[in-house]
Amino acid sequence: MTKSVVLASASPRRTALLKQMNIAHTIHPADIDESPRLNETPQALVTRLAAEKAQAVKAQLETQHSMTADTVILASDTLIAFEGQSVGKPIDKADSKKILRMLSGKQHEVLTAISALSDSRQQTQVITTAVTFAALTDEQIDAYWETGEPADKAGSYAIQGIGGEFVVSINGSASAVIGLPLYETRQLLNAFGVVS
Helix runs in the chain, H state only: 12-20, 42-63, 93-103, 138-146, 174-178, 182-191
HSE on the CB side for 5, CA within 13 Å? 24
Question: Which residue in 31, 33, 70, 77 is the catalytic one?
Answer: 77
Rounded Cα distance between 65 and 181, Å, is: 30
- Those residues whose C-beta lies under 8 Å from the C-beta of residue 164, and which sit 6 or more positions away, are 158
Q: Is 77 tagged catalytic?
A: yes
Residues in the chain: 196
Active site residues: 77
